[in-house]
């Protein structure tokens, strides 16, 4: 079949197939704690959320799902985080054939421009980082849970492993009903989780370069320079804005001491761009903080990582384009490099498609439910950006609303450009001619 020869179409198909298998497993009576068959929409939504490493849930994970169900969810978000794009590359290598240049570039639009001949080393890096970081974080969390939070060793190890894999893959699923709100004052739980999320949200191309040239900023590729610099800026903005806007909110940071306020503000400067863990009640946050989270969630993390959103590089490219237009410069330039026109168009396309889809689904959910715009828009952006944070309305949505969120999670994970390209059956054919140029009035 042609679809299985074209990685551009293979990636969405593999994601869909994995979601389907996960749905069947979670649909079985073995997956629920009650032993009853799970409603099909609930099974489908949970499978989609896990494979898309989002973390939105209809049912409380530790209460509704059995041990089998929780293990299934954990395996699904491990597969989703590892990336079926990586699996597609591996299939090509095993088959002993090389993907065409056009196909490779099409699958890497939103995931950085990896060296086409470097697939093997990237796979090794992904596997090595996955194993090492997950084992290290699981060990730290398990010891902390057992020695300082009165869990039995078996409980501590299970919670440690689940949260380590969830954090590494930016999944946001938790075996605690209140996520990590029970550890608001524990830096030895929050800090390791934060560091793991930041690392994986950078993306594997950046990890590879930082490993090779950790201190040689001038020798970094433009992608790494943009990702690292913008990540630092966004973390600082998120931290100071959250700290300032929630400082005296009696339902979030207000009752805490200064140290806890700082710790939780750092945590919530990281999680809105990547994963659905929370130590504060999102529904109790002030409107201005919610708006900040809209922006951070939509931007997301680095390319070729486990974070979602339109990606940091996409956002920065748009800023550079706007700045160049304001200064009336012919070229968009950053760090001494001129941006390729194709990259500019890709960034614009990704942003417009993403914003358009969020807008349409938000309008649909508003008409369907009558819930407040504040909460519905937050839910839609969270789903598209595969963040998983919620103000608490996920379970209140009707099945049709859950299916709409599934669409957002699927497109947000696979990538708007990749989906569009797959639906168009591969790269567009180039015309043997060009039309006359004319400039309409804009603005």
DSSP sequence for 168-194: HTT----SSTTTTGGGTT-HHHHHHHH
What is the average pLDDT value for the chain, to the nearest integer?
Answer: 86
With a cut of 70, say whether residue 424 has pLDDT above it.
no
What's this model's pTM, rounded to 2 decimal places? 0.90
pLDDT digits (tens, 9 = 90+) for 350-392: 899 999 999 999 999 999 999 999 999 999 999 999 999 999 9
Q: What percent of the chain has pLDDT over 90?
A: 63
Q: What percent of the chain has pLDDT over 70?
A: 85
At 2, is the pLDDT very low, low, confident or very high (cuts 50, 70, 90)?
low
What was the pLDDT predicted at 8?
63
Mean pLDDT across the stretch 207-227? 87
HSE (CB half, 13 Å, CA atoms) of 384?
Answer: 28
Query: What own/partner pairs with CB < 8 Å and gap ≥ 24 does 195-198 have?
Result: 196/133, 196/137, 196/164, 196/167, 196/168, 197/167, 197/170, 197/270, 197/271, 197/274, 197/275, 197/277, 198/231, 198/235, 198/270
pLDDT digits (tens, 9 = 90+) for 299-313: 999 887 778 899 999
What was the pLDDT predicted at 319?
94
With a cut of 90, say whether residue 111 has pLDDT above it.
no
* Among 4-8, 154-158, 371-375, the least confident range: 4-8
What was the pLDDT predicted at 110?
40
Residue ranges per structural domain of the chain: 2-423
With a cut of 60, say whether residue 117 has pLDDT above it.
no
* Among 10-14, 57-61, 384-388, the least confident range: 10-14
With a cut of 90, say whether residue 61 has pLDDT above it.
yes
What was the pLDDT predicted at 274?
81
What was the pLDDT predicted at 1?
52
What was the pLDDT predicted at 128?
86
What was the pLDDT predicted at 438?
80
122 vs 128 pLDDT, higher one: 128
Phi–psi pair at 65, nearest 5 degrees: -90, 145
Which token pair is 359?
């807008």
Task: Catalogue the E-assigned strands of 343-442.
Answer: none
Task: With CA atoms as reference, report the closest residue to 315 among 385, 213, 413, 389.
Answer: 385
Instruction: Mention every residue, 6+ apart, whose C-beta is less than 8 A from residue 36.
Output: 29
What was the pLDDT predicted at 330?
85
Instruction: Mention every residue, 6+ apart, whose C-beta is less than 8 A from residue 184.
Output: 256, 260, 263, 264, 279, 280
Phi–psi pair at 87, nearest 5 degrees: -60, -40
What was the pLDDT predicted at 97?
44
Mean pLDDT across the stretch 103-108? 42
Task: With CA atoms as reference, report the closest residue to 242 among 280, 200, 275.
Answer: 280
Task: With CA atoms as reference, report the closest residue to 339 among 210, 421, 216, 226.
Answer: 226
At 113, is the pLDDT very low, low, confident or very high (cuts 50, 70, 90)?
very low
pLDDT digits (tens, 9 = 90+) for 219-273: 898 989 999 999 999 999 999 999 999 999 999 999 999 999 999 999 999 998 8
Angle subtended by helix axes 67-82 and 7-27, to nearest 10: 170
């Amino acid at each position: 079949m042609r679809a299985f020869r074209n990685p551009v179409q293979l990636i969405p198909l593999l994601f869909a197939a994995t979601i389907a298998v996960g749905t069947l497993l979670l649909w079985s009576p073995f997956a629920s704690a009650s032993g009853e068959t799970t409603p099909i929409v609930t099974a489908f939504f949970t499978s989609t959320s896990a494979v898309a490493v989002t973390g939105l849930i209809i049912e409380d994970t530790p209460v509704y799902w059995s041990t089998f169900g929780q293990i299934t969810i954990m395996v699904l978000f491990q597969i989703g985080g590892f990336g079926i794009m990586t699996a597609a590359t591996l299939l090509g290598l095993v088959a002993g054939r090389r993907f065409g240049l056009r196909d490779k570039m099409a699958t890497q639009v939103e995931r950085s421009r990896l060296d086409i001949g470097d697939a093997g080393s990237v796979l090794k890096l992904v596997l090595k980082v996955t194993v090492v970081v997950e084992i290290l974080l699981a060990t730290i969390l398990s010891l902390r849970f057992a020695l300082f939070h009165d869990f039995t060793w078996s409980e501590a190890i299970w919670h440690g492993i689940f949260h380590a894999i969830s954090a590494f893959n930016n999944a946001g699923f938790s075996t605690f009903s209140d996520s990590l709100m029970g550890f608001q004052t524990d830096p030895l739980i929050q800090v390791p989780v934060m560091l793991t999320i930041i690392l994986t949200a950078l993306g594997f191309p950046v990890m590879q370069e930082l490993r090779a040239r950790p201190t040689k900023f001038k020798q970094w590729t433009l992608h790494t320079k943009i990702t690292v610099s913008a990540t630092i800026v966004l973390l600082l903005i998120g931290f100071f804005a959250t700290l300032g806007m929630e400082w005296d909110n009696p339902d979030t940071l207000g009752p805490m001491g200064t140290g806890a306020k700082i710790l939780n503000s750092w945590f919530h400067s990281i999680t809105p761009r990547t994963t659905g863990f929370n130590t504060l009640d999102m529904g109790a946050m002030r409107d201005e903080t919610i708006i900040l989270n809209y922006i951070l969630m939509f931007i997301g993390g680095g390319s070729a990582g486990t974070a979602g959103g339109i990606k940091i590089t996409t956002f920065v490219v748009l800023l550079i384009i706007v700045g160049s237009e304001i200064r009336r410069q012919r070229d968009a330039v950053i760090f001494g490099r001129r941006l390729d026109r194709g990259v500019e168009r890709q960034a614009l396309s990704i942003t417009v498609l993403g914003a358009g889809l969020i807008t349409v689904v938000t309008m649909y959910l508003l008409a369907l439910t009558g819930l407040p715009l504040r909460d519905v828009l937050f839910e839609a952006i969270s789903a598209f950006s595969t963040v998983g944070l919620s103000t608490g309305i996920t379970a209140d949505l009707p099945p049709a609303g859950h299916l709409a969120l599934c669409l957002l999670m699927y497109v947000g994970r696979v990538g708007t450009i990749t989906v569009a390209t797959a639906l168009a059956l591969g790269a567009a054919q180039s015309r043997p001619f060009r039309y006359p140029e004319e400039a309409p009035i804009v603005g």
